[in-house]
Amino acid sequence: MNVKLIMYWNIRPGMDQEYFEFMVREWVPTTNALGLRTIAAWFTVYSRHQDQARIMAEAIADDLPTMRRVLKGSEWQSLHAKLLQYVKDYRQKVVYVTGDFQI
């Protein structure tokens, strides 16, 4: 059964350009090569809650063992560490894919 990695974060102030370049050049290609298919990303332009993450991204793996392997792997750890240079307030969770909108 497919599982989904749901991630939330905010871009660090003044890092917009570097963040977007990293996402296009490294994040998406590397996550796909690791076995995660990036399926969606949302950017919230306005929120009443300032502490709420403005970006939500989703990636799917074929099954839970694949997701666990990816998230425990050194390539993911390195990529994740690079992401944290550009973002703050990072959170993530893994859920089974239901076909409905999941948050």
Tens of pLDDT along the chain (103 residues)? 899 999 999 999 999 999 999 999 999 999 999 999 988 887 776 666 666 778 899 999 999 999 999 999 999 999 999 999 999 999 999 999 987 666 6
pLDDT at 41: 82
Determine phi and psi for 47, rounding to 5 degrees: -145, 140
**Contact between residue 41 and residue 55 where contact means Cβ atoms under 8 Å apart:** yes
Could you please report the per-residue DSSP string of 16-56?
HHHHHHHIIIIIHHHHHHHT-EEEEEEE-S--S-TTS-SEE
pLDDT at 47: 62
Residue 101 lies in a domain: no
pLDDT at 98: 83
pLDDT at 44: 75
pLDDT at 100: 64
CATH number of the domain at 15, please. 3.30.70.100
Residue 102 lies in a domain: no
Domain that holds residue 18: 3-96
Task: Please compute, for residue 29, the number of CA atoms within 13 A of its CA located in the half-sphere on the CB side.
Answer: 5
d(CA 12, CA 102): 25
For the chain, the domain total comes to 1
